[in-house]
Amino acid sequence: MADIEIPRADVIGSVFTREILLNIGESTSDMIYAKDREGRMIFSNAATLAILGRSWAEIAGRSDLEFLDDKVEAQAFADADQRIMREGLTVSLEEVLTGTGGKRIYLSSKGPLRDSDGNIIGLIGISKDITARKAEEAQRRLLLEEMKHRVKNSLATVHAMARQTLKPAVANEAWTGFEQRLLAMGRAHDVLVNEDWLAADVRSIVVQSLAGHGGGIDPRFHIDGPDARLDAQNALAVALVLHELATNAAKYGGLSVAQGEVAVTWHIEIAAVASAVVIHWRERGGPAVAAPAHEGFGSRLIRHALGHRSGNAAEIDFASDGLRCTLRVALVDDRTVPIGDRPFGA
């Protein structure tokens, strides 16, 4: 950094010293830089100069529009910098810069630079090259889309085989139920693909699982709960259970009459060993409910879909004023802030 001229501390803010800036600049391969209120360069570390392919003398006191060859990129930097200084906020954003390594993608963290009185006198930023990471993300997305395509083809094959083998021997109602369950699995897979097949947001699972019955649109549904994520296996299980509950409600319960309603709410239970999201299904306004004499396929699916994984459980209550079901499902991320139970329709 011998060719870098560090400005006086009072120029770039009293909290910064010449020694701190030098130490930071020498210790990282990330771009570190500071600009004045007009966007002119007042500090640059060695990595910034190497990436730009410029000496400090070539960029000192000059704006991006003056020393960058790509004027479109330069204007984008200038616009973002001025917005940050105008609004006085620290932001993270992705930026494209063509330097000695060609066109690269950077994750930039930029914030206003203030003097001892708190006045904004410029901007300081750190930019990290994330080109390789973005390429990996694009490749992963491509593979996930291919997997999504293959899953849909597999489900379509299962559907065709079942139709050819079973339909002549089963009632239309049973066949329709089978088809709808396949569709529910397909929608759940779509949610997981959109989440990189790592975990799925509970709200997305709920809305997609109930889409065939108007969930997310029909005012008879009340959907509410905090941000929470489930792993792929639990997400698929919950999607199938919710589909089964909605199908039953449409035939016999809260969705079978105009005045009926269904609430799907959830909250987080934090525990030392295994935290969980607790999902409540509650129906009201429908026909009177009575427990069935025999447990059908739907009830067995609801009780057993979550398997015997640690922290998972499912309970069905055939309350006379409306069926209720409680699912307790292990969380992916225990950092979610818990909230208490909410009243029906809240």
Taken in order of first residue, the domains within the chain and their CATH numbers are 9-129 (3.30.450.20), 195-330 (3.30.565.10)
State the pTM of this model.
0.48
| Residues 284, 286, 288, 289, CA torsion sign | negative
Pick from 237, 245, 192, 240: which is nearest to 329 by CA? 237
Phi, psi of 323 (to 5 degrees): -65, 140
How does pLDDT run across 222-251, given as a tens digit for each residue? Answer: 999 999 888 877 888 888 888 888 888 888
3-state SS assignment for residue 334: coil
How does pLDDT run across 41-81, given as a tens digit for each residue? Answer: 998 898 999 999 999 999 999 999 999 999 999 999 999 99
pLDDT of residue 179: 66
Which residue has better confidence, 10 or 191?
191
**Residue 218: beta bridge partners?**
none
Over residues 256-261, mean pLDDT: 89
